Structure 1
């Protein structure tokens, strides 16, 4: 088969997956406004019952998600503020966009988060707050507890990333050194009504892991955080103030993050409007349209990037050799979130490492293209 055609088909299949989780399309699919009634999935909100609507959010796509909200709600929006990664801003009419650091939180992110908290101080029980969360939301909502600094949080995040901790483990620790994460944003929003619209980039779409679960009950504990630091043998590198805070929490001196029975969640709706599995299924549909025998290997792929790449290359070799698990022409699709353990002065980069590791394995094979994005 022509290599250019394989490459073009791979890009078309990938782009179909990306299009399926486009933030603008996702917002328009899930939010409808008719005669003053806002419909969100299986719930309705009579906007006549609310004094004002406020928009908050964080994530690489939060500004893009905010654009159609302004079109739908117009001047019903009293105010809004969202934090986005540098280079991901959008021109909005009402909602303030603050650019900040990702994956390591920075002072700009802290400033933007404090602006969100100040905005929430204007709201009451007759207001509606819509929160927009997407990939990167955890790093883009930094607000350490009072006794810790942003530098403390940056150090902890960097150490966990370099150690190869999973996103779930990183988020568990982030929650317990934050004023926002692990259901604590919902606590700040209360007693206002809260709608949380989520573009998930977390394997399995666990709500308490997406953006560190700012609007859902937290299932992790201070003790879990201590176990994570022990698991990766980085406790001796963690700032003393962070260790002291976690120890005080584990001993019951500091209040835990809100759990499922907390009353703040009675006025909260969380809706996933886009996810990994949705993108994977759309990619598969496009592959079938292009006449490929298609297989979703998994949407739960995790692990060390170079090892995962070797497994995908091995699947390609099996198809060439035996026609299993799908015959040629074949398209094998997977999704998930791998990790890279940084060594020496390496910078990391999961997609590049995956592509390079896979390329080494398939070197010399004909009619094989691997795309990672």
Structure 2
């Protein structure tokens, strides 16, 4: 997909005259909006289910299922309300009933934003249960998980269970393994996240301490047919990690779980209940439900899809789009250095390019970017200058991590934007500075109302003028407060409820005048 985008030419000069009045900031925001629009939950379901009379085909899977008033639905995640609404529209005359676990307040928020098309009808057969306030498992989401488990256990071989999964699903399906309590499980995952654990490490522990994750839900539903439609919020779309894989057999190895807990210092004084569960762990065997073909898992939306559509919008706005990677990860400090280096490479004189290229190639593996992808992007930036192709839009996605050291308000996207702004300091080509935007496609970056922020080389100077100490804000992980005070909050990206979640989108806009001879 990235190579296809790299061969498309931007629009002719005359077609872009109207666009030149738009700031780079505005165009970055439009590219981000296009990425989010591409992975709306109702559209994704609509494109994945093809109704044919009394049967339904899951597009791209080659699988058809007979409909005979036998369809049950469960779901969990930030986007599943819209997914369920569309699924009921397509299959509703065969629906028996269902339960979905969604974020606290989402129905009211959808109404306030006029997104009525994502709300279930009055006489829907699907029960909506709200919980997981502030993206954390709570008693309400645990109650929803118990209802989902009861529904699944009551199914027979004649039934079809449609499982809808999206980002945030782990928090909305908490069912701790006894005797571990929800509080104990939440305390462990909080400590792991605060220490900088990756999503893979978090899900390894979640699966070990959960009844429904790691294939547990599919096991409950056996012998019913299970079809899971998934909006992926995990790098590389690994089925066993998305919402911790409730419909995917996920072997839990005791040594693997212990290694994660030990790595982050959580084995010093475990509770008696945690010790008991760890002692019972062993590698799981192949589940009969998968061997018999009773489970179909399909990813219907992902970060790659979002980036592809973002590239199309960038093209319309006069940029040459190139996708770096949908899998950027690692510490936010290293990721910010990556984008700072790319911007400097694009703006550097020829004699300095080789040194920057060498540093980029060395950094790549640390942030999840392969060498061939970095070489391709650097080649594209060089060609943009030598062939007078104009401005370039470098696109990437993923989920960097932040090691918490303070108690401020913010999230990884806002902190990444702050750090990239510092990396761009002093980088001022003849006209515009490169612009960087980082935003979460779910519209919520940490416990704030912002999805992220947009920044450029002027960030440090503007902060100094307003007597804002950038370094102090970073030490306190207080990026939201910083951007709220900086220039009246105009750098914040606040799209409101997006109704989807496929990780983060990073946008680096390189002006056509950036590269010097």
Return the TM-score normalized by structure 1.
0.92
2:170 to 131, 134, 138: 138
1:281 aligns with 2:289: no
1:367 aligns with 2:433: yes
Greater CA drift, 4-13 or 37-46: 4-13
Unmatched tracts of structure 2, length 5 or more: 1-18, 108-117, 351-377, 385-389, 440-517
1:156 aligns with 2:183: no
CA distance in 2, matches of 1:348, 1:212: 25
CA distance in 2, matches of 1:209, 1:356: 29
Secondary structure, counterpart of 2:326 in structure 1:
strand
1:330 match = 392
Contact 2:328 2:399 in 1 (8 A): yes
Contact 2:154 2:221 in 1 (8 A): no
Secondary structure, counterpart of 1:174 in structure 2:
helix
Q: CA RMSD in A?
A: 1.9
CA distance in 2, matches of 1:23, 1:271: 14
1:245 to 247, 253, 277: 277
2:143 match = 111
1:79 match = 97
Q: Which has the larger radius of gyration?
A: 2
Contact 1:155 1:238 in 2 (8 A): no
CA distance in 1, matches of 2:176, 2:299: 26
2:500 match = none
2:456 match = none
1:253 match = none
1:307 match = 334
2:44 to 22, 26, 30: 26
2:417 match = 355
1:216 aligns with 2:248: yes
CA distance in 2, matches of 1:32, 1:2: 42
1:97 to 124, 128, 131: 128
1:56 to 68, 74, 77: 74
1:47 aligns with 2:79: no
CA distance in 2, matches of 1:307, 1:85: 32
Cα deviation for residue 363 of structure 1 reads 3.2
Cα deviation for residue 91 of structure 1 reads 3.4
Cα deviation for residue 3 of structure 1 reads 8.5
Contact 2:206 2:213 in 1 (8 A): yes
1:38 match = 56
Contact 1:222 1:246 in 2 (8 A): yes
Secondary structure, counterpart of 1:370 in structure 2:
strand
Secondary structure, counterpart of 2:436 in structure 1:
coil
2:324 to 297, 301, 309: 297
Matched residue pairs, number? 364
Distance 1:313 1:281, change over 3 A: same
1:205 match = 237
CA offset digits 1:323-353 (Å, max 9, x no partner): 8441351111000111111113245511111
Cα deviation for residue 11 of structure 1 reads 1.5
Contact 1:77 1:94 in 2 (8 A): yes
Contact 1:104 1:158 in 2 (8 A): no
Unmatched tracts of structure 1, length 5 or more: 251-255
Return the TM-score normalized by structure 2.
0.67
1:13 to 31, 38, 44: 31
CA distance in 2, matches of 1:84, 1:10: 30
1:194 match = 226
Secondary structure, counterpart of 2:193 in structure 1:
helix
CA offset digits 1:171-228 (Å, max 9, x no partner): 0111011110001111001111000000001000010111101111214422210011
Contact 2:226 2:295 in 1 (8 A): yes
Secondary structure, counterpart of 2:35 in structure 1:
helix
Distance 1:46 1:322, change over 3 A: farther
Contact 1:306 1:353 in 2 (8 A): no
CA offset digits 1:100-125 (Å, max 9, x no partner): 11532111110110111122233211
Cα deviation for residue 2 of structure 1 reads 6.4
Secondary structure, counterpart of 1:355 in structure 2:
helix
1:262 aligns with 2:287: yes
CA distance in 2, matches of 1:219, 1:302: 24
